Chains A and B, each alone.
Chain A
Amino acid sequence: MEEIAIGAKPVKQADPKKKRRDKRVTWAIIKDQRQLIYMSVPLLAYIVLFAYVPIWGWSMAFQDYKPARSFGEQTWVGFKHFKFLFTDDNFLRVLRNTLAMSMINLIFGFVTAIILALLLNEIKKIFWKRAVQTISYLPHFLSWIIVTGIVATSLASDGIVNEMLMKLHLVDKPILWLSEGKYFWGVVGASHVWKEVGWNTIIYLAAIASIDPALYEAADIDGANRYQKMWSVTLPGIKPTIVILLIMSIGHILEAGFEVQYLLGNGLVVDWSETIDIFVLKYGIAQSNYSLATAGGIFKTVVSITMLLLANWTAKRLGEERLL
């Protein structure tokens, strides 16, 4: 009996109305699917514990949290810490840095990846194309520690970048890239591009590959040149992919990253390098101001979700692909 019931269901699947009726959860179904339930339980329990239970800790942001006291003994202070955050010059500066670096990474990252994908697509020798791709993906797999080490070496006063600039007579004395705040955002943006540009092209190349070749043939017959084809066939062809990836990235707008800024930052550029994550770490772990740090973290999550929903809604309005 049971086997037949299971075997029959994929057939029902085809009809959306019947599928909905299947949703009724009865003991018979639970018993029938108990193995699937057992398979889900370990990770479900895990994710609840590691991802959802800690949300309880958000209560700290509304208290003057003292670790020695029990939950009932904490002093509730409402939005005090949030008010402090938005009037605190430190936090506002950190917010500015986060948004600036995030925008730079977003724009740089998208533009360079799309351009590289278009150019790679124009390479006709498959071996050469594969070779370039293989090499350009490589930095994605290295840790930020290694990458920032390489960046720091290359940008040192006697590093390769300064040496090149000097030899080309573009500058007459080495630029201290990592000691001046005004360069920091650019350095972070460039490091991201170096590490991820190849990797980010994978998805665009796949999207380009799935464009109907007949469109290119039609464009040829219409006398389109290479650039016109890129502009009128390839780019519109990958537009849905671009929109989806943009939506996903916008949800992470306050995650400019932590590692690069933490590893490349130093006392001289601190006003430009600190992000919300570093702020949280500094107040929370180093100074044990748990309540303030938690408030900063909550702010970040709330903004992320709001931005994601907003971007998704906008995409829907524009009639584009969307995530949710």
Chain B
Amino acid sequence: MSGPESTIAISRRRPGSRGLEPFVFNTLNTIFMIILVIVTLYPFLNTIVVSFNAGNDTIRGGLYLWPRQFTLQNYKAVFVSGTIYNAFLISVARTVLSTLLNIFLTTMLAYALSRRNFVFRKPITTVFVLTMYFNAGLIPGYFLMKDLNLINNFFVYVLPSMISAFNLIVIRTYIYTIPESLVESAKIDGAGDFKIFWRIILPLCKPVLATIALFVAVGAWNSWFDAFLYTSSQQELSTLQYELMKLLSSSMNANSNPSVSNGVGMQNATQVTPISIRAAVTVVASIPILVVYPFMQKYFVVGLNVGSVKE
């Protein structure tokens, strides 16, 4: 990973980096980057502002970077409703369980496939890689879930997404970088493959596993389609993102039809509107990601680059 730094160090010494042209370029480039940062961050800031602003006041518009009438009413309304609270717990449970299972099983397989003398290495790899481009599709998939009794079952969130071929290849590629002699010496000491996997490979894979865990966790946390498709008739199994999706579609319809918007979502609290509720749920749904993200960032760039290396 010394690549970017060394390129930059050299570019500093480039003869052509003085004079008017580089100055103009650098200024324009900086302005462009500032615009990029604003365009990326502003919508979040605005959503956070809306979530802390009194609902009735938000309708007047003109909210930019700071709440005009600060209130916690929207968040109270979100957490008072048992639906969102329950959905939050379901989302956490599925994310944790999916991530642990996925990481453990994928790494175990990746270890087996990284043993170059393993006789079934090629055929097994092919079976998994094909799934990157190939799937039976929605309807056969739906019937499979039905046959497996997974409709309206919590495990429909965990079981269908236990592995991704991409993650498998990333982890396997990473294991290749672990010196073979470590495994060999453990073999000579009489360790079996299970022991080597558990004691040597798994601890050494921490950086790449952090990356993959982030991908898997984000995927599990963000998915709503499975809830929509398989558990929509079972309110207790609803996930946070699916609840957000329902809020979004109801408030979008309210937007396109102003006469309705006055009645929606204001059963008891006068200050709360569909738009402010939606903002609050959006914030709640993105907080876990915003919290984990800075810690994981240093890993995923490495992880992604490892994954891009061809065999």
Contacts and interface: CB of A to CB of B under 8 A. Distances in A.
B140 A60 contact: yes
A101 interface: no
B4 A43 contact: no
B133 A55 contact: no
Interface string A19-45: 000110100011001011111101110
Contacts of A241: 308
Contacts of A30: 119
A143 B128 CA distance: 26
Describe B's contact surface by its main secondary structure: helix
Contact of A123 (B33, B46, B106, B188): B33
B117 A22 contact: yes
A137 interface: yes
A106 interface: no
Given A7-B188, A148-B248, A13 B116 contact: yes
A35 B119 CA distance: 12
B40 interface: yes
Contact of B163 (A7, A47, A120): A47
B96 interface: no
A154 interface: yes
Contact of A277 (B138, B141, B297): B138
B248 A263 contact: yes
Interface in A128-144: 128, 131-132, 134-139, 141-144
Q: How extensive is the interface on chain B, given as a class? A: 35 or more
Q: Chain A: interface secondary structure?
A: helix
Given A55-B140, A146-B285, A179-B256, A36 B7 contact: no
B36 A132 contact: yes
A280 B162 CA distance: 24
A25 B119 contact: yes
B37 interface: yes
A301 B218 contact: no
Contact of A205 (B4, B11, B245): B4
B15 interface: yes
Contacts of B282: 146, 149-150
Interface stretch (B66-74, B79-87, B189-197, B265-273): B189-197
B263 interface: no
Interface of B: 3-8, 10-12, 14-16, 21-22, 25-26, 29-30, 32-33, 36-37, 39-44, 46-47, 50, 61, 105-106, 108-109, 111-113, 115-120, 124, 127-128, 131, 133-144, 159-160, 162-163, 180, 184, 187-188, 190, 192-194, 197, 218, 221-225, 229, 241, 244-245, 248-249, 252-253, 255-256, 275, 278, 282, 285-286, 289-290, 293-294, 297, 301, 304-305, 308, 310
Query: What are the 4 closest A-B residue pairs judged by CB atoms, nearest first?
Result: A57-B140, A297-B137, A209-B3, A143-B222
